[in-house]
Structure 1
Amino acid sequence: MMLTLSAKNKLMFVNGTVVRPATGTTEYKAWERCNDLVISWILFNLDETIARSVLFLKSARELWKDLEDRFGFASITQIYSLEQKLSELTQGQQSVSEFYTRIKTLWDSIDDIQPLPTCVCTTSNCTCALTERIHNAQQTQRVLQFLMKLNDRFSAVRANILMMTPIPNVTQVYRIVAQEEDHKEFSQSAITDNLAFTADRKPYYQGQNSYSQTQGFRPNINNFVKKKPHNNYYCTHCKMAGHSLERCFKIHGFPPNFKGNKDRKVAAMVLNSSDS
């Protein structure tokens, strides 16, 4: 809300910078119009129950001050709730980007409720550098929190970051871990592609070969045996494979140029018996 008011150049109506002009003047009419506009913006963004409680306030400054008095303080319960969520947060199945966004949101909420102390030196040039030291200590603590909550597959990059001197800030650590995640995904994708390419390559023979650690690669000799044509035929008369019933010599007779050891008389007897 503060950003919206500042962008519209109306922030002075809630922080008390603009003084209410005297009634009946030209300035009062311009102030009243802008004041009503700011009140309408604030009421539109409030919960219905809260909006009813401030509906009859006449100036944006009074409305804002009333809301600030009721809700503009941090309780220990809010800090406890945020710290509990932070302690229970882990990466899990989230990507590094998603996890960093969640943990940074909690950090920003804690900073808004409980900001860091600042230097109160009265001199123009601060010599204690208290604010900088506190900020560096906070960055180191948050780097440790971020690394502790990462998955175990980032253990190597975690160890490398912890050995750095000086230790980088949170944003730099996030970039390093995100690059490591991209590298792991690229490597895994390359391995998967190579395995898929190897699986698609078919050898010149069919079948499976065996492999053992002691004897190594052992090809199946059946893979190299040339299969005879027409091996799908089967004769129900001879109970043999290699020819069909329509091509059985024992039923229809042997051809004249047949050089096998079969007795041709058997074929002739079969034909005569079938003709009778």
Structure 2
Amino acid sequence: MSSSKRIKDLMLEAEFYCRVNSACRVMKLKDLANNLDIDLTTLSKYVNMHIKPSRPTMKELSEKLGEIDYKSVMRDCLIQRPYPFPETNNLLFKCPELLDCVVYEFLREFGTLSYDYILTIEGGGLALAQAIASRLRSPVVYGLRDIITRGGHSVPYKYMPAYAWGPRIKRYITLPLGRELRNKKVVVVDDIAWTGATVMTLTEYAARKRCDVLGVFLLATFEDVYEKLVERLKSRLHVVLILPDEVKKSVIGEFV
């Protein structure tokens, strides 16, 4: 199978499961089956992955689900779940099936690029990167946050404001030795960019290692941070969800 055909098939599958799982979040399975003109038992088997629809069926059902606003479903899951602010663990814990939407968005934007590594950070960024990498069989390089280890390169957060999560003013990302990345092509992946500090730190580190940063992929950020990243980044930027600044201000107010 050619690479382009494989990416196309992966994108079709990710889109189908993204849309059908998002639809299941906003309507009853019986109503969804009626809307799709499909047997309820068959749809249930599709949703629970007991059987997988054929490629033509996936395409047909995805087209019928084209009006489903999966981004709103993801946004609600990030904000209106156990943690009282946009938190990737809300998505991973309560709505793990929506990771197909993350994969679909990544494939749609970066699926045709040829790169050596996905570069990310431990935590939510790593979880998203691994979800993407497992489908594409892409190697992942990740940094450790606020930990300095022997044999690694520790890079300070240059853009981290003083209010960022209480008294931890000095913060670091420790990455593997530079030879792992030197002269490679990478795509940076992270979950929620609250200030843009992590993204800028990763991209600048990669640039120092003479990497070609082909793009930056984020699950979510805020209006002001998005504008800042567009201005500062020299790489292609794709953000799935751009949240209102008011959401961030309400959270930061609790820590100032």
Measured against the shorter chain, the TM-score band is under 0.3
Higher relative contact order (CA 8 A, sep 6+): 2
**Structure with bigger gyration radius:** 1
Choose between structure 1 and 2: higher strand proportion: 2
Q: Scaled by the length of structure 1, what TM-score is found?
A: 0.23
Q: Scaled by the length of structure 2, what TM-score is found?
A: 0.24
Choose between structure 1 and 2: higher helix proportion: 1
